[in-house]
Amino acid sequence: MKDTVKVAAVQLWIKSELKSGREGNIERAIALMEEAVALEADFICLPELFIGAGLSEPIPGPTTDVLSDFARDNKVYLTGGLFEKAGEIKYNSTPVFDRKGQIIFNHRKVNLFPWEPTFRKSTPGDVLKVLDLDFGKAGVLLCQDLAIPETPRILVLKGAEILFVPSRMPAQFLTFWKRLCRVRALENNVFVCSAGMAKQKWIGSLIVAPKFENDVIVECGPDQQIITAELDLGWLRETRKDSPLYHVTTWKEIEQVLPRMETHSFILDRRPDLYLEEIQKIDSEK
């Protein structure tokens, strides 16, 4: 495993959600991904449903073939979302490609937004998987998945060091989304890389570190662009092992330690025995 990795989020202008706009959306995505490759990104994250929300395709299929070729030719990891047509069932999915262009996992959105089961006729997925990549461990979520606390927490408990989150969070949720990415990063001691849409009502692309201060490493404005960040996985791994607060014995030591702390391993303070007992009580009363 490496101590650092460079990640990229693509904020894409999706001009049309219909079939007529598919090729243009893909061309703009490729142009931005080429910029990310020129900046030596190891992992590129495209937005949710980046070819257009009015389209559905099988996986593997025409779009995944394009992404596979790009990942293989440029030796990068890559994920980008689309509606997956699996027989009579439709999923909101984001396949993950390795540096050889192979699909190593296809994340199907677990927590659907209110209109997805009805208006979009989507079916929720039921798999949360951590990927062992050449630089470390990563998880992939889709938009609303990050808003449900248990979803990212499970991936982190399985070892995820970075969460890649293709998104289409509505503009009305933008303040919430930025705060949510920051909170999820800090409470889980994990990096978060979110990629959304440009110029329209679905926005919010940023890369966040689990730090008390200067946690937003980089974020997009409203326009189409890419952002990149080099993430210090070595630092993350060390902070996950321990915290200075577990070793102080006097108030004076606490006063000395606190100003120097960049983060805290809140996940080490969990009480799963208590939670399980309480959840069982609640379930039995229903």
Choose the catalytic residue: 45, 143, 181, 220. 143
Choose the catalytic residue: 45, 48, 161, 193. 48
Using DSSP, state whether 121 is helix, strand or coil.
coil
Tell me how far apart the alpha carbons of residues 5 and 229 are, in angstroms, rounded to a whole number. Answer: 8
Q: Is 18 left (phi over 0), alpha (psi -120 to 50) or beta?
A: beta
Q: Is 48 annotated in the active site?
A: yes
Query: What DSSP line would sit under 167-229, residue for residue?
Result: ---BGGGHHHHHHHHHHHHHHHT-EEEEE-BSSSSB---EEE-S-SSS-EEEE--SSSEEEEE
Q: What is the Cα Rg of the chain in Å?
A: 19
**195 beta partners:** 166
Q: Could you list the active site residues?
A: 48, 109, 143
